[in-house]
């Protein structure tokens, strides 16, 4: 059977990618600010103030990430008709031996 005549059905599963969000980037920055606040003693204000500001921002960013993921989860369809793609059967033959 030649490859031009085979009919392979497309997979029926749907892919639902998450929406883009700034929350992970803000969360990472806030955690970095929290950790760097320990070592930033004497730069403009006390170091623990940077840590508190970073922790508060990290909590709000984490809350935003959780809310978005829960919202995306509940937007998924409840039931989905799953239809797997049938893989074509190929004949595999062993390599030919060369006789000396």
Gap between the Cα atoms of 73 and 78, Å rounded:
10
pTM value is 0.61
Tens digits of per-residue pLDDT, 76-89?
877 766 666 566 66
Query: Each residue of 44-72: b (16+ CB within 10 Å) or e?
Result: eeeeeebbeebeebbeebbebeeebeeee
User: Residue 13: what pLDDT?
Assistant: 64
Query: Are the C-beta atoms of 47 and 39 separated by less than 8 Å?
Result: yes
User: Residue 43: what pLDDT?
Assistant: 66
Supply the range of the domain harboring residue 43: 21-58
User: Residue 30: what pLDDT?
Assistant: 94
Tens digits of per-residue pLDDT, 2-50?
556 666 666 666 677 778 889 999 999 999 988 888 887 776 777 788 8
Q: Is residue 6 part of a domain?
A: no
Q: Is residue 40 part of a domain?
A: yes
Q: Is residue 43 part of a domain?
A: yes
Q: Is residue 5 part of a domain?
A: no
Total structural domains within the chain: 1
Q: Is residue 26 part of a domain?
A: yes
Q: Is residue 29 part of a domain?
A: yes
Mean pLDDT of the region 67-73: 90
């Amino acid at each position: 059977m030649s490859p031009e005549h085979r009919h392979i059905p497309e997979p029926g599963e749907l892919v639902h990618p998450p929406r883009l969000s700034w929350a992970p980037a803000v969360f990472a920055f806030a955690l970095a600010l929290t950790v760097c606040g320990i070592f930033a003693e004497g730069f403009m204000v006390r170091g623990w103030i940077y840590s508190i500001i970073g922790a508060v921002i990290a909590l709000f960013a984490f809350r935003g990430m959780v809310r978005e993921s829960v919202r995306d989860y509940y937007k998924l369809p409840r039931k989905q008709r799953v239809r797997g793609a049938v893989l074509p059967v190929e004949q595999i033959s062993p390599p030919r031996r060369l006789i000396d």
